Structure 1
Amino acid sequence: MSVFQTYLQLGFYHIFNLQAYDHLVFLLALCAPYVLGDWRRVVALVTSFTIGHSITLALATLGVIAFNAAIIEALIPVTILLTCLANLLRAGRLEPRRNDTRRTEPIVLTLPNLLAAVFGLIHGLGFSNYLRELLGQNSRPVLELFAFNLGVELGQLLIVLIILVVGFVVLRGFGASRRDWVLVVSGAAAGIATVLLLGQLTGA
């Protein structure tokens, strides 16, 4: 297996690993307001997030920037909480009608793509610790960085597809309302993020 294929798989399996569940929860919160018909908008949103984390992942891995790992680990659940808060505040504007799978305005923060990229900057620093352990003494890991990022992006897109399909089944198959779906998913993600944040703050 080539170096490119190796790091492509590592990136894919890293984002799909339960040890990276904080990033999975962020994606869940990010996609909660959308339905399957919004897939183009969601792809743009996730790609914005990827661009953000690719920048800081590269800079940190190459040693261009240094950071406090404890602070970054605390900021990651904060990004989840902020996304959930925006979802919850806007969810109340939806009509609680059942089987509502029509496309509506996204229930996310203002300028969602830009903010997804900003949050990606924080998450990229979190990814960098794992990648630096893999690279060891490799000081010019350009190919490895590209392959790892591509693997992460492919993994994220698959996760997003799963979230959208599950949402479609819940909304269409079980007759849930868009508002209830957003409230339940965002509330669950916020609860997990709160536990993560408290754990970081208390050193648990």
Structure 2
Amino acid sequence: MENFWFYVEMGLNHVLDLAAYDHILFLSALAIPFTFKSWKKVLLLATVFTITHCLSLLLSVFEIVVMDVSLIEFLIPVTIFLTAIFNIMYQKNINGNKRIVLHVLATAFFGLIHGFGFSNYFKMLISGEDEKITPLLGFATGIEISQVIIVMIVLLMAFFIQGIGKVKQSIFVLSASIIVLLITIPLLYQTFPWY
């Protein structure tokens, strides 16, 4: 059980590490269009992201699917960039059913990419270990806890800025998404694998 908690901590640290902020950026971009009033949609997206990234993490760890690390490292900022663009394009229709279906499909695909990204770090952690299930469960649990923390922080920020600061939701979504885009552009350049 001690081994499990060690890997929970590693999962938490991996996502919440400010030096490696790509996962924080993606989860922030994912949560930006929502408020506490739309918690069911946030829960749906978080669940879809969790299922898909756990699936690709599992496939990668057991080497059922092997992905090029440099390609995955580039695709992660691409997912952040596209999510922020999606927020800007569809901000006027935040509550539309069509939008949530597109959001769910995009989140599922992006979750697969992020799972392969998590697996690169995780495989380094467990190199030389025979037993993979307990570390995998612990690491995935740590990732999930950190995701809840990030989403809650973004929703709280939205609540304070929109509710107390009286900023319109569309202005908040547009401004926050542009900030995410500006932070992501250097990541795209730094991880571009073909130059």
- TM-score of the aligned structures, taking structure 1 as reference length: 0.87
Superposition pairs of residues 113-152 of structure 1, within 5 angstroms? 113-152=104-143
Pairwise CA RMSD of aligned residues? 2.1
Q: 5+ unaligned residues in a row in structure 2: which ranges?
A: none
d(CA) in 1 for partners of 2:97, 2:10: 32
Q: Which residue of 2 aligns with 1:97?
A: none
User: Are positions 1:162 and 2:144 aligned together?
Assistant: no
Amino acid at match of 1:153: E
Contact 2:71 2:193 in 1 (8 A): no
Q: Distance in 1 between matches of 2:154 and 2:10?
A: 22
Q: How does 1:1-204 map to 2 (within 5 A)?
A: 2-91=2-91, 93=92, 104-105=95-96, 110-201=101-192
Conservation of the 8 A alpha-carbon contact between 1:34 and 1:106: no
Report the Cα offset of residue 108 of structure 1.
5.1
- 1:24-47 per-residue CA deviation (whole Å, 9 max, x = no partner) reads 101111111101112222122112
Show structure 1 runs of 4+ deviating over 4 A.
106-109
- Alpha-carbon offset, residue 135 of structure 1: 0.5
Q: Which residue identity does 2:128 align to in structure 1? A: Q
* Pairs aligned (count): 195
TM-score, normalised via structure 2 length:
0.91
Are residues 70 and 155 of structure 1, via their aligned partners in 2, closer, same or farther at CA, if it must alter by over 3 Å?
A: same
SS at match of 1:33: coil
**Percentage of matched positions with identical amino acids:** 34
Runs of 5+ consecutive residues of structure 1 not aligned to the other structure: 95-102
Structure having the higher helix fraction is: 2
Shift of 1:75: 0.7
| Counterpart Cα distance in 1 of 2:112 and 2:173 | 25
